[in-house]
Amino acid sequence: MITPQQKELVQKTWVMVVPIADTAAELFYGRLFELEPEYKKMFKNDMTEQGKKLMKTINIAVEALDDVEPLVPVLKKMGADHAGYGVKERDYNVVGAALLWTLEKGLGDAFTDEVKNAWGAVYELLASVMKSGAAEAEQAA
């Protein structure tokens, strides 16, 4: 569950990341591949483009926090697509860790424990819907 206060913290801190989105994306993938060098070969496309897609998706999610329901089918489809890229459930933990690390670097002192927990809750929400979409697609197949 995401509290109204957590929503506000995420939305307030995301505004600080948007102007440095390209750098943040670079930091994110750098950290991700440091944690799991194996992931490099899963990414077939240009990493700058990939970074933009990632940031755009987070942006949409952050803006939709007041009413996530309409996003659920989109996220489920993304989760099923990700299973097709070879993404497994445990990989979501690694990506979550790389995301929080990136926010810590990008936000500096603004990355308080509350902010960390709020972003953790938002990521958990996105990841859980994506994973459920992957599981449903697998069952249907």
Residue ranges in contact with ligand HEM by CB under 6 A: 39, 42-45, 50, 53-54, 57, 78, 81-82, 85, 87, 91-92, 95, 126-127, 130
Cβ 140 to ligand HEM, closest distance in Å? 18
Cβ 16 to ligand HEM, closest distance in Å? 19
Cβ 51 to ligand HEM, closest distance in Å? 10
Q: Rank residues 23 and 33 by Cβ distance to ligand HEM and give the closer one.
A: 33
Q: What is the C-alpha R_g of the chain? A: 15
The DSSP string of 36-75 is: -GGGGGG--S-HHHHHHHHHHHHHHHHHTTT--GGGHHHH
141: three-class secondary structure by DSSP: coil
Q: Rank residues 23 and 50 by Cβ distance to ligand HEM and give the closer one.
A: 50
Q: Rank residues 19 and 86 by Cβ distance to ligand HEM and give the closer one.
A: 86
Distance (Å, whole) CA 82 – CA 84: 5
Cβ 83 to ligand HEM, closest distance in Å? 10
Picking from 111, 5, 96, the residue whose alpha carbon sits closest to that of residue 58 is: 96
